Amino acid sequence: MAGVLVDPYCLAVIEARRSARMNGTRLRVVAVAAVMATVVAACGGGSSKSSSSGSSGSAIKIGFFGALTGSNSPQLGINIRNGEKLAMDQYNKTAKTKVTLVPYDSQGDPAQAPQLAQKAISDKVVAVIGPAFSGESKAADPIFEQGQIPNLSASATNAKLQLNGWKYFHRLLANDDKQGPADADYISKKLAAKKVAVIDDASEYGKGLGDVVRSKLGSAVTVNDSVDPKAAAGNYSSTVNKVNAGKVDAVFYGGYYQDAGPLLKQLRDGQFKGAFVSGDGSLDQKLIDEAGTTAAEGAYITCACLLAGASSDPAAQQFTKDYKASSGADPGTYSAEAYDGTNAVLKAIAAGNTTAQTINQFLTTVDFKGITKEIKFDPQGEVQGGAIYMYQVKDGKLALLGDVNTLI
């Protein structure tokens, strides 16, 4: 199976369609369906031809693994893919051996992850940026491990992933065991909250983070709730009642921005006056759109990631400019991490490593200054010295307050 199963032409067409959509050009459903039908037909035919020719392709393939469609796709997919793409485009300008991006759209669904990981192996990608979600990581990473494909996640922060003894697993930001305590410390020390409500979205990520905060805050947590946003259908009234009845000073929410927005709005409508703190899943401008600028004002959000647009560092600002030029939008959550991770792989390739195994070997010794931090992995694959940053909503924008450790 040495074939180029996804040939570059098809990728180009798919890319073109995606970027067209992101630029706001809304094509009519029917028209797109018709176009796609021909593309799929062409790809179907083309791929079998190129595989039979047996060429392994002149370009080196780097995969992307995450959600490009589906409900979490803006944050845990497109942001990351665009960061990866920018790094590769910049590399291709000067490099002799070109690199191409092969996307694996998991829709964040762990049930789809195994076959896509398998596909990446048979496509002979040399590295993968992703998987984006912790859930799909658990299903896909064992396959990457056996298939010996280095994978670098820019967003999966589950605190157990690094404990599997995987050699090919890397991640570019601190995990929830660091983020949770940082949230808890900020709430108890900086905000001096005596009574805290911890609410989570009953998801793998949200409850995981919420539980770390709960155990760190201990008896200060006087109200607990776990609401599956799907079952709530946008109505958080029972949670708001609990929070108000508990007369808490602060609310911590473990979950994603789509749900944090309505919750925050309903809390403020319900006369809740205390602080609202949340984690990286809530770090998105859409949180402010959904909660409304008045309700969102002053909300605290932590992230192990650096939102390049909010940073005053010149390298980050340059990255923001380039990113905007390349994808037509401001870099989002995890974009800069994905960029750094891709650059780590590209440095390996530039040093003459063109197979997955040698690239993985190179990653054990890689050490350079990225946009977000110094990129250097420990034996478990965790990036070293990953900081937790605190953001706050100010005048309807996400502003960077700084490293949580220096703020307390």
Which residues, 173 to 212, sit near another protein by CB under 8 A?
202-204, 206-208
213 binds another protein (CB under 8 A): no
Contact between 111 and another protein by CB under 8 A: the answer reads yes
Which H, E and C letters describe the chain, residue by residue?
A: CCCCCCCHHHHHHHHHHHHHHHCCCCCCHHHHHHHHHHHHHHHHHHHHHHHHHCCCCCCEEEEEEECCCCCCCHHHHHHHHHHHHHHHHHHHHHCCCCEEEEEEECCCCCCCHHHHHHHHHHCCCCEEECCCCHHHHHHHHHHHHHHCCCEEECCCCCCCHHHHCCCCEEECCCCHHHHHHHHHHHHHHHCCCCCEEEEECCCHHHHHHHHHHHHHHHHHEEEEEECCHHHHCCCCHHHHHHHHHCCCCEEEEECCHHHHHHHHHHHHHCCCCCEEEECHHHCCHHHHHHHCHHHHCCCEEEECCCCHHHCCCHHHHHHHHHHHHHHCCCCCCCHHHHHHHHHHHHHHHHCCCCCHHHHHHHHCCCCEECCCCEECECCCCEECCCCCEEEEEECCEEEEEEEHHHHC
Single residue of 23, 55, 122, 354 touching another protein by CB under 8 A: 122
What is the Cα–Cα distance from 300 to 285, expressed in whole angstroms? Answer: 13
User: In this complex, which beta carbon is closest to another protein, that of residue 145 or of residue 185?
Assistant: 145
CB of 284 to another protein, least distance (A): 9
Residue 115 sits in the site that holds another protein (CB under 8 A): yes
Least distance CB 277 / another protein (angstroms): 19
CA-CA distance, 212 to 163, in Å (whole number)? 17
Q: For residue 332, state whether it binds another protein (rule: CB under 8 A).
A: no
**Using rule CB under 8 A, residue 114 touches another protein:** yes
- Of residues 17-36, which lie at the interface with another protein (CB under 8 A)? 26, 29, 32-33, 36
Q: Is 215 in the site for another protein (CB under 8 A)?
A: no
Taking the complex as a whole, the smallest distance from the CB of residue 69 to another protein amounts, in Å, to: 5
Q: Which of 15, 19, 57, 70 binds another protein (CB under 8 A)?
A: 70
Could you say which of 9, 19, 47, 380 contacts another protein (CB under 8 A)?
47
**Which position among 23, 89, 97, 234 is part of the footprint of another protein (CB under 8 A)?**
234
Binding mask 127-166 for another protein (x = CB under 8 A): --------x--xx--xx-xxx----------x-x------
Count of residues that bind another protein according to CB under 8 A: 80
Residue of 59, 95, 232, 407 that binds another protein (CB under 8 A): 232
Counting contacts by CB under 8 A, is residue 399 touching another protein?
no
Nearest to 133, CA basis, from 107, 115, 114: 107
Q: Does 71 bind another protein (CB under 8 A)?
A: yes
Residues in region 90-109 near another protein by CB under 8 A: 105, 109
Q: Which of 74, 131, 150, 332 binds another protein (CB under 8 A)?
A: 74
In the complex, least distance from residue 92 CB atom to another protein, rounded to whole angstroms: 24
| Minimum distance from residue 59 beta carbon to another protein (Å) | 18
Q: Please, which residue, 268 or 373, has the CB nearer to another protein?
A: 268
Residue of the chain from 116, 196, 344, 401 that contacts another protein (CB under 8 A)? 116
Pick out residues in 238-297 that bind another protein (CB under 8 A). 238-239, 241-242, 244-245, 258, 261-262, 265-266, 269-271, 286, 289-290, 292
From the number of C-beta atoms within 10 Å of its C-beta (0-12, 13-18, 19+), residue 306 rates as buried
The least distance separating another protein from the CB of residue 95, rounded to whole angstroms, comes to 27
